[in-house]
Amino acid sequence: MTIEAQAAGAAAGGVTYGMVGGGRGAFIGAVHRKAIAMDGLARLAAGCFSTAWANTRETGAALGLPEDRLYKDYRRMIRAEAERPDPIDFLVIVTPNAEHAAIATLALEHGLHVMCDKPLTTTLADAQALGALARRRKRLFGVTYTYSGYPIVRHMREMVAAGELGEIRFVAAEYPQDWLATPLERTGQKQAAWRTDPKRAGGSNCVGDIGSHIEHLVSHVTGLEIRSLLARLDRFGPGRALDDNASILVEYKGGAKGLYWSSQIAVGHDNGLRLRVYGTKASLEWAQEDPNYCQVAYTGRPTVRLSRGRDDLHPSAARMSRLPSGHPEGYFEAFANIYAAFIAAVRKRKAGGTLTKADLDFPGVADGIRGVRFIDRCLASSRAGAAWVRF
């Protein structure tokens, strides 16, 4: 039995979900399913895994789903599930970006909670409309900004909030990859094909895909709000319609400055998300490829290397740690931490409980809207010749 199937049973507490996308040949759908299954908090009960019916049937069979809970398109799935005596509680959306808005809208209209991959939508108007609809329908809406699920990242957030860094002066963040250093989309590789296609990815590839992770990580850790930005989006791949490299200057409310770089053509880099935050009292440095540690440098004191699992972390961060020190926790665990908070909120709402601020400590629709605004503003700046634009 696969880890994806092990979520079934009483441990799920009666919470079920469906998935749109994530069929054979996809990447991120399986990550979502395995992350949810890690804690056994919800059970996969329905799916429309592909626009190809054969793919949906094959994926569903491999996951142990009955054929009457498999659907040829998401519209049939959402409407049919809403009419069942045992409908799914939430919908996971792991399709190309351009499909997010329509799927999420229909799900909310039919009373489902939603977890959506980022970016939330391809236009700011669609993102804002989803936020308004979620509020009207009183539905929970999560967005999988994965990296906020790491315990050390949560601890850094608490350090900044407690004033341990003093006043933030400068933020440097980068996310270099090299997977599009060659025209991979011309080989038929599925991920490259849709991410470089404006009809499916939206107006941006690099900023939309990984630059948006930078924006959320900085916001999550520092609480800084962007006042204005200057962006240059590059297209180095021959004939490529969307950006594969971006350089962004940021000014925050309150006077702090920032520099972001995201790239998919940086040869030699796998998944090099890195954050540096510089304050008047101390600085923080964290790298996603070594996520269990962060460096804290103090003015006039020795530099410290914090360890997840060994050192005392803030309680909100310690609760996210799953293994003793020296046993690496990574991407799946971070994903699972986001889902654990989201599903706990779904369960509490289902039981008639009142949700608190602590219950909602996961990336939500407001984060998704801000991320789409960030993409929109970067595109506007770049199209204006790398001009400063208001956020």
For residue 370, the model assigns a pLDDT of 98
- Residues contacting residue 278 through CB under 8 Å, at least 6 positions apart: 165, 168, 169, 170, 171, 172
**Termini Cα distance of the chain:** 49
CATH superfamily of 10-147+339-364: NAD(P)-binding Rossmann-like Domain (3.40.50.720)
Closest by CA to 366, choosing from 29, 17, 53, 131, is 131
User: Span 201-229, mean pLDDT?
Assistant: 98
pTM of the prediction? 0.94
How far is the C-alpha of 199 from the C-alpha of 203, rounded, in Å? 8
> Is 49 within 8 Å of 29 (Cβ atoms)?
yes
Instruction: Tell me: pLDDT of 6 over 70.
Output: no
How far is the C-alpha of 201 from the C-alpha of 211, rounded, in Å? 14
Ranges in the chain annotated CATH 3.30.360.10: 148-338+370-390
User: Span 372-379, mean pLDDT?
Assistant: 98
Task: Identify the DSSP state of 110.
Answer: T
For residue 13, the model assigns a pLDDT of 61
Ranges in the chain annotated CATH 3.40.50.720: 10-147+339-364
Instruction: Tell me: pLDDT of 143 over 50.
Output: yes
Instruction: Tell me: pLDDT of 2 over 60.
Output: no
Q: What is the largest CA-CA distance in the chain?
A: 66
For the stretch 57-69, pLDDT in tens is: 999 999 999 999 9
- Residue whose entry in the numeric block shows the structure tokens 């979520």: 7
- Residues contacting residue 112 through CB under 8 Å, at least 6 positions apart: 78, 81, 82, 87, 88, 89, 90, 91, 139
Instruction: Tell me: pLDDT of 200 over 50.
Output: yes
- CATH number for the domain formed by residue range(s) 148-338+370-390: 3.30.360.10
- Classified as helix, coil or strand, 19 is strand
Both tokens of residue 233?
Answer: 């989006």
Task: Identify the DSSP state of 357.
Answer: T
